[in-house]
A = this chain, B = another copy of it.
Amino acid sequence: MKKYSSKTISRTFIYIRMLEDLLSQETNFVSSKQLAEMVGSTDAQIRKDISSFGRVGKPKLGYNVSELKSVLEEVIYDNIVHVVLFGAGSLGTALLRYAGFHNDRIKLVAAFESDKRKVGKEVNGVKIYAIDDVGKVFPKLHAEVGVIAVSKEKSQEVADIIVDAGLNGIINFSPTTLSVPEHVLVKNIDLSIEFMSLFYDLRAHNGKQKK
């Protein structure tokens, strides 16, 4: 598998989304400049990203929308991601309901929760199991990525369970730095840091304007 930078990959998802919009408007061709405008980037950036995947544009015409979409999709997905959720509290439940996880590339296959009252329920077609049954349920799931949506205090414990179960990708919504073996990839999404850093940028930004 060829390795692209994860920045390029993140942008590629956004490009695909735009191409889908264009397709639904029956637009056949799009230029790097137009795409750039749609996603808030630059034409050079778009061309650089796309050209790293091969020669797909047509000089003078731009990119064929559906062809480009196929190329981008091929780069990114050869498979479906099987995701398991830990924690069905308010954040976990929001994730279960979140429309973004009900597409053809991501499949949320199960949720685990310690609160007995929630165990056995189903949200959006996803079953909630008791955390103690991980050993029993896991082998059937073919899961690849675990999502941690439990409290700060329990997150390391859950991370250990995920690692023991053999997964090597974690998305961590709790505000902690997890310690995991080196082969496990962790992506931290700390919502309060996102907020606070936006706020900081905002003040710096406004300060500049006043000058």
Contact = CB atoms under 8 A, between A and B. Distances in A.
A99 B169 contact: no
Number of copies: 2
Given A93-B94, A204-B1, A198 B185 contact: yes
A37 to B, nearest CB: 10
Interface residues of A, number: 65
A208 B197 CA distance: 33
Contact of A145 (B144, B151, B190, B198): B198
Contact of A193 (B13, B77, B99, B204): B13
Given A81-B195, A106-B196, 5 more contacts: A89-B97, A98-B192, A144-B199, A171-B195, A183-B205
A203 interface: yes
Given A38-B177, A175-B17, A195-B171, A76 B200 contact: yes
Interface stretch (A3-11, A46-54, A58-66, A130-138): A3-11
B17 A101 contact: no
A24 interface: no
A182 B17 CA distance: 23
Contacts of A100: 175, 190-192, 195
Interface in A169-211: 169, 171, 175, 177, 183, 185, 187, 189-209
